[in-house]
Amino acid sequence: MTHCDQAQHELCEKLAEIYDNDGLTREVLARSGIDRTWVNFDQAAIAVWREIVELAIQQNKLAQLKRAAVPNFILLEAVFNRVEQCIAQPNPLTVPTPAPRDRRSFVWGLAGAGAVVLLISAALTLWPKPAQAPAPTAVPTVAASQNPATGSVLSQALLQANIDFSKTEHQASIDQNDLFSFHPQLGQACLDLLAQSGSKRLKQPVYLDVIFGYYQHILKRDIPYGKPAKLGVEINAAALKQAIVSAYRDRHPITSDRFEDVVE
């Protein structure tokens, strides 16, 4: 994790700790001018604030978010400042501007370039054609269970696997087999992933909704809400493993980033 990533992660943790309910979070958003229709409040506080901070950076509204959040909690200012400094850093990979040349060197340069082009063209004509490149490797996905659990059976299986819920309504969406919620499909995918890796459970409890927040973040796309089967038919196995580890590290003090180190 880079210095800038660490600063942004620390900012999200502090905001989630201070503004830990939807009402307070919405008040800060209203003062900052960030469009809250893009924020999914149906997840843990730290995942909500991660989305808000990323939106603020994308929309160049980090300063407005800072003014909205800091007045009541001045300790946030130092963390905001570190994130702002990271964003303001210039790109170190700059291309130096070539020194001006006189007309003669310019003409000779063009002539030399033309000769190089002719040589390359001739070489390409005589060079044997390369073999056809192999087809790209398919992205590994989580194989769907032949007998997926549903309703309260699924929620109990998740709890036994140390995957719990930050809010009661998240478990209710599974108990009621809500087709418009991402929790049933993602929960079953987590159980399938554990089974396929030869594991029974996570070593410590992890919130299912935080796993989902990281899964979206890793894939760098928002999964739309309000439609059945929102996660699609296949779930990216590597992304889900990384999301589980990231959610685990949010809740428990570990430094490892290996999936094998958080399961048993």
CA distance 10 to 31: 22
> Are 28 and 68 a contacting pair, CB within 8 Å?
yes
Distances in Å between the alpha carbon of 13 and those of 17, 59, 214? Answer: 6, 21, 14
Q: What are the pLDDT digits (tens) for 199-255?
A: 889 999 999 988 988 887 887 765 554 444 444 557 888 989 999 999 999 899 888
Q: In the predicted model, what is the mean pLDDT of the chain?
A: 76
- pLDDT, residue 97, reads 42
Query: Taking a C-beta distance cutoff of 8 angstroms, is the pair 12, 50 a contact?
Result: yes
pLDDT given for residue 131 in this prediction: 55
pLDDT (tens digit per residue) in 96-126: 444 454 555 544 554 565 665 666 666 556 6
10 pLDDT above the threshold of 50: yes
Among 222, 174, 208, CA closest to 43: 208
Question: At residue 75, does pLDDT exceed 60?
Answer: yes
pTM: 0.50
- What's the pLDDT score for residue 209? 86
Per-residue confidence band for 261, with pLDDT thresholds at 50, 70 and 90: very high
What one-character-per-residue DSSP string does 117-151 give?
HHHHHHHHHHSPPPPPPPPPPPPPBPPPPSS---H
pLDDT score for 175: 86
Instruction: Give residue 135's pLDDT band: very low, low, confident or very high (50, 70, 90).
Output: low
Of 24, 26, 13, 20, nearest to 75 by C-alpha is 13
Q: Are 161 and 244 in contact (CB under 8 A)?
A: no
Return the closest-CA partner of residue 42 out of 141, 149, 167: 167
